[in-house]
Structure 1
Amino acid sequence: MQNECVFLHGWGMNKNVWQLLIPELESEISMPIKTLDLPGFGDDQACPAPYNLANVANELAEKLSDNSTLVGWSLGGLISLYIAKHHPKKVAKVILVASTPYFTEQDTWSGIKPDVLKAFMSQLSANTNKTIDRFLAIQAMGSDSAKQDIKQLKQFIKSAPEPQEVALRTGLDFLLNEDLRTLFSELTIPLHGIFGALDALVPAKAVAKIQALNSNFNAHVINKASHAPFISHKSEFIKELKEML
C-alpha cells in the first residue's frame, strides 16, 4: 500500500478546511490523501483525558498508516512534530504549514505575543464563537484576499459540529506553552515548511530561526500570503507541496 499524505488542521478549525485544496491535489499527486479531525474538533467529539499533547498525539497516531507524510497547519504542525518524535514508525516526513515548534514570542524567538494568546484564553470562556472569529481575522491579516479567506474558513468550520470547550482551551495552552524546539532539532526525517510572508501568528522572520534548529528543514515563504496560504494562494501552495512530497 502506498504511504498516505495526512492533513491536520489548526486551532478552532476542523478537517473541512482542506476541502477546497484536496480535489485539485488528488489530481496532482499519486499518494492517497487523508484528512483527520484533531480530538475534540469537527466530527471527532471524543476527547482524551487528560487532554494533553501526548494523549492527542497517541490518539491521532492510531489512525495513521506507517510511513505517513504529515501536513500540519498551525497547531496541527506542532502536533505533527510530536507524533513524528514519539511514533517514528508512523511518520516518514513532516510538512509544516504556517507552523513552528514554538509559537510564543521571546527575546531570541519570533512568534505571537504571549498577551495575545492569553487574551484569547480569557475571551474564550465569555464567548467562544466571537473568540474563534477574532482568531480567524488574525489568521487572514495582511492577505490581499483577507475578507474572502475569512468567509471561506467560516463556511468550512460551520459545516461541522462545534469544537469541545476543553479542546479549545487546552489547544490555546499548547500554542502558548508547548516548546518543541529541542524535539524538532533531534528529528532526522525530512522536514519542510510553507509559510506566509504576512503571517501575524508565525512571522516570516521565524523561518530562519526554525531552519537554524535542524539542517533537514527546507522552507518556502509565499510572498503575499498570511496564515492560511493553502486558501489565499492555492496554486502556489500546491506547486510547493508537490515538490516537497
Structure 2
Amino acid sequence: MATVNSTTGSPTTINNLMSTMNTQKAGTTGTDSVKADTDKFMTLLVTQLQNQDPMNPMDNSQMTSQLAQLQTVTGVNKLNDTLESLKASYQSSESISATNLIGHGVLVEGDGVALSSSKGILGVELGSDADAVQVVITDSKGKTVQTMDLGAQKAGVLPLAWDGVPDANNLDSNGKPVTLADGNYKFTVTATAGGQALTGVKGLQFDSVASVTTGGTDGVKLNLPSKGAVTMADVKQVL
C-alpha cells in the first residue's frame, strides 16, 4: 500500500488513523475478526486517498492491487475460521469414539504378553509382506520358553492367541500338555523376505481401555492399565 503523505494530512488525522489501526477489541473472533480486518483496511485506504499528493495520485492499478490484497487477507482469515471449526468438530468426534472403546481390548506397540489361565494375546505388525515370521517368547529370566513359526504373512496387523504350552512339551499324569505358570512374559518378532531381514516389524501387546482423558492440550488419551496413556493413533487393532 502506498505511503500516506504526512505533509498533506494533519497530525491529528494521522494520530487518529494509527489509533484506529492499533485498537484490538477483546473477545473478537470468527466473522467479527474478518470484519474488523476489512474495516481497518478500508479506513487506511480512505485515509490514504484523502491525504494523497494531488499532483501524483494513486492510479487504478494501485487501487486494484490493494483491493486484491484485501480479498486475499479476508479469504485467508475465513479459511482459518473454517479450519478451526473443523478441528473442533474432529476433536469432538474423536472424544465420542474414544469413550466407546472403554472396556474393549486393544493391540498397541509393545513386547509384553500376559498369560492367564493358559491364555494370552499378542500381535505382530508387518510393514511389508514376509516369507517367514517368527515370534520368540521368553520368561522373566530371559529364557526362551516358546518359539512360534508363523510362515509367510501379508503386510498388516496379525493378532495371535498363545496357549502357554512351552516348546518342551511335557505331559501331566492325564496325558495333557503342561502349561507355563501365569504371569508376564516378553517376546520378540523377526521377519524375512528373500533371505533378508525386514525392517518395519513391530510387536503388539494386548491391553484394555480403562478410561479416557479428553480436553487436554495433547488431545484425547486412552488410559491402559499396563501401557499407560496412548493416543487413538497408537491403537493398531480393537479386539
Q: TM-score range by the shorter chain?
A: under 0.3
TM-score by length of 2: 0.20
Higher relative helix content? 1
